[in-house]
Structure 1
Amino acid sequence: MEIRQIVRDIKQGKIAPVYVFYGTEQYIVDETVRLIEERVLDEASRDFNYSVYDLRETPVQTVLQDAETFPFMGEKRVVRASHALFLTGSKLPAGAPEHDMDVLSTYVGNPPDYSVLILEVAQDKLDERKKVVKALKKDSVMVECAPLKEAALADWVVRQAKRYRVGMDAAAAELLIAMSGAHLRQLDKEIEKMAVYVGEGEEITEHIVETLATRELEHDIFRLIDKIARLQIEEAMRMYYDLQRLNTGSSETRGEGEPLKILTLLARQFRILLQIKTLQPRGYSQQQMASLLGIHPYVAKLASEQAHAFSEQALKRIIHRLAEEDIRIKTGQVDKVLALELFILGLKDIMHKS
């Protein structure tokens, strides 16, 4: 079932007795569970009828005993259990309790009407060969909480802005994603901040985003590589020095501009560019490349655009040079700040030779 339909059902009071949330976008999990709680629990009896468990520590049969307990001073109870790894192909951590899957399958087939059981697991896939997963697919609401794809992510940002009673167009939304990353919780915080700044009924423009949005270091690495691709080495050096200031700034940003961290991120990004450079001629779509490389589709889009500026040979030479600088820094052969300065200054020569 689509997440939007699930949310509509919850808002209309159509609450299922069992939900399974799986996937890595925790914001979707938390927001949907919050809606369930608001719809099911009243403030007066919430503390008596709301339980949270970690299935790495508590056996599922204990959770189910709680779910089968009648609510106190209220009509329903909500029982939330995280890390349901037994629904996946992953091994349980050492020391994990024994989980009785037969008890869970029996419960799911005939759940009490006074409880809402919520199982969560932060993994992309469930093991559909398992009997208990088949039972859950048949008799519960399965909620996939995967990171939103490129177009859906920008649409979500625009809709979220409307929730805060401000306007935002697609261009501003895409810029915010590029600057602050693709995690919904962080994006929500950024939208809320900018909505407060512009005021109700006003517009969050690209200029506002550029001015106020919190930049991820990865975004600055993208911008740095853009300067390198255009052979704007002086501007690239200025950007590097700006990143260096993060290393001596406030306690919140200190360490972000540490040269070894910048070098590591540069190496990672250039490796992604090389991989995309080899995948594009083979007909892979941006979505396929994102899945294969384990990156967000929007990151794949930006990387695809950057990859055009480099030859495959240049990318290989740059990656090799970064590996050499990493060794020289770690063995004390060169100062780490100087090493990155020399690397950036030497890029024009690498690009020309390739």
Structure 2
Amino acid sequence: MKELDVILKNIKNKEVLPIYFFHGEESYFIDLAVKALEHDFLTEDEKAFNQTVVYGKDTSYHEILSLARQFPMMGDKQVIIIKEAQDLRMAESESNALEAYIQNPVPSTVLVFAHKHKKLDSRKKVTKSLEKAGMLFLSESIRENHLPKWIADECLRSGIKTAPNISHLLAEYLGNDLSRIANELNKLKIILKPGEVLDGKIVEEHIGISKEYNVFELQKALGTKNANAAFKIAHFMGKNPKNNPFVMMLSSLYNYFSNVIIYHTMAGQPPQAIASQMGVNPYFIKDYAESARLYPLKQATRVISILREFDMKGKGLGAVNMSEAELIKELVYKIINVDKIRMKV
């Protein structure tokens, strides 16, 4: 959410809007904003009389707006928070009622909607009215190639010093679950001694990432065609499917080999330009250069086809009764031997 820092600053300074309608696929940013309005705006005494929290499945827009039109007791403002607002029914009458309230909100009420996991329909009049009034805030998911930078920025914000590859390692292992990432970083901040640098050893010890057996290391082994290491890692990951989700592994490998293809298509251009196109730190370009040498363009393209094949197998199509452990081993075999495998037309 681009406006998040401004929203949090304004809440701290007691400068709030009459309506905040948070919506979008990324719940983490919505949770941060709602938490600030729930815990940091009113005093504890004021909350007892002037703060109401309801859930979308248990209420309606008409009931919410009726509450919003009431006046605060023993204070200047009341806060009404609707969590899980995506469960609210919005038929024509509800939409019209909210539209009317947007045009004339009660100044002493702060009305907060937490509409998670999906966006409001941009075609609807009420959405356009909220946007025009500056009361609509979109929380978008972070693209996977931007995730390491977000993690690095969060580490910087938290005062955590990191080794060069740590943000990528955390991104590969934790995926784009921002809440989980934030929780792990908070845990590490408590653990780290003053001036201590967060490296792979600390991550492995305190987050449970095996430096030797994780998707990041599998990617590295496949990228260098180190068959022994790749099969060893695949065996371990197959024994621990909960810690190594097959879907996440496929996604990581897909991104990696897509970047190998980008390296081929941009061969001869400055490393900084190639890294920018890939969305990675220039530090990792040498790894892609090595993988591009071992996987010519035709083979890298075949790997993408193999990954798509195993995405379907992972969903039970063409791989009946195959465990994730068996799928991982077969996948690793096919990638390592991509130069020998004849692709189906």
TM-score, reference length from structure 1: 0.71
Match runs of 1:167-316 below 5 Å:
167-168=161-162, 171-199=165-193, 201-207=194-200, 208-215=202-209, 220-246=214-240, 255-256=242-243, 262=246, 305=288, 308=292, 309=295, 310-316=299-305
CA pair 103-160 structure 1, distance change in 2 beyond 3 A: same
Q: CA RMSD in A?
A: 4.2
CA pair 176-320 structure 1, distance change in 2 beyond 3 A: closer
1:153 to 150, 153, 174: 150
Partner letter of residue 191 of structure 2? Y
Alignment gaps of 5+ in structure 2: 267-273
CA pair 52-191 structure 1, distance change in 2 beyond 3 A: same
1:346 is displaced (CA, Å) by 5.2
Aligned counterparts of 1:286 and 1:121: Cα–Cα separation in 2: 36
1:347 is displaced (CA, Å) by 4.2
Aligned to 1:15: 16
Does the CA-based 8 Å contact 2:26-2:117 persist in structure 1?
no
Question: Is 1:127 the equivalent of 2:121?
Answer: yes
Aligned counterparts of 2:263 and 2:186: Cα–Cα separation in 1: 37
1:344 to 300, 307, 332: 332
1:124-179 deviation per Cα after TM superposition (whole angstroms, max 9, x unaligned): 644343221222123343322223462751453124423xxx54476544443333
CA pair 277-5 structure 1, distance change in 2 beyond 3 A: same
Aligned counterparts of 1:133 and 1:319: Cα–Cα separation in 2: 37
Question: Is 1:107 the equivalent of 2:101?
Answer: yes
Question: Which secondary structure does the structure 2 equivalent of 1:351 belong to?
Answer: coil
1:69-124 deviation per Cα after TM superposition (whole angstroms, max 9, x unaligned): 22234432211224555xxxxxx89xx46452222122122222221101232356
1:64 is displaced (CA, Å) by 0.9
Aligned counterparts of 1:118 and 1:30: Cα–Cα separation in 2: 11
Aligned to 1:58: 59
Aligned counterparts of 1:118 and 1:206: Cα–Cα separation in 2: 40
Matched pairs, number:
318
1:228-271 deviation per Cα after TM superposition (whole angstroms, max 9, x unaligned): 23221111122123224425xxxxxxx445xxx63x55555555
Aligned counterparts of 1:230 and 1:143: Cα–Cα separation in 2: 44
Aligned counterparts of 2:257 and 2:192: Cα–Cα separation in 1: 41
CA pair 111-74 structure 1, distance change in 2 beyond 3 A: same
Aligned counterparts of 2:205 and 2:192: Cα–Cα separation in 1: 12
Does the CA-based 8 Å contact 2:235-2:325 persist in structure 1?
no
Does the CA-based 8 Å contact 1:21-1:119 persist in structure 2?
yes
Question: Which secondary structure does the structure 1 equivalent of 2:231 belong to?
Answer: helix
Partner letter of residue 4 of structure 1? D
Aligned to 2:110: 116
CA pair 158-266 structure 1, distance change in 2 beyond 3 A: closer
1:60 is displaced (CA, Å) by 0.8
Aligned counterparts of 2:25 and 2:47: Cα–Cα separation in 1: 27
1:343 is displaced (CA, Å) by 4.9
Alignment gaps of 5+ in structure 1: 86-91, 248-254, 290-296
Partner letter of residue 206 of structure 1? D
Aligned counterparts of 2:37 and 2:248: Cα–Cα separation in 1: 40
Aligned to 2:78: 77
CA pair 329-44 structure 1, distance change in 2 beyond 3 A: same
Aligned to 1:42: 43
CA pair 62-190 structure 1, distance change in 2 beyond 3 A: same
1:23-63 deviation per Cα after TM superposition (whole angstroms, max 9, x unaligned): 22222112122222334322124244322333345221111
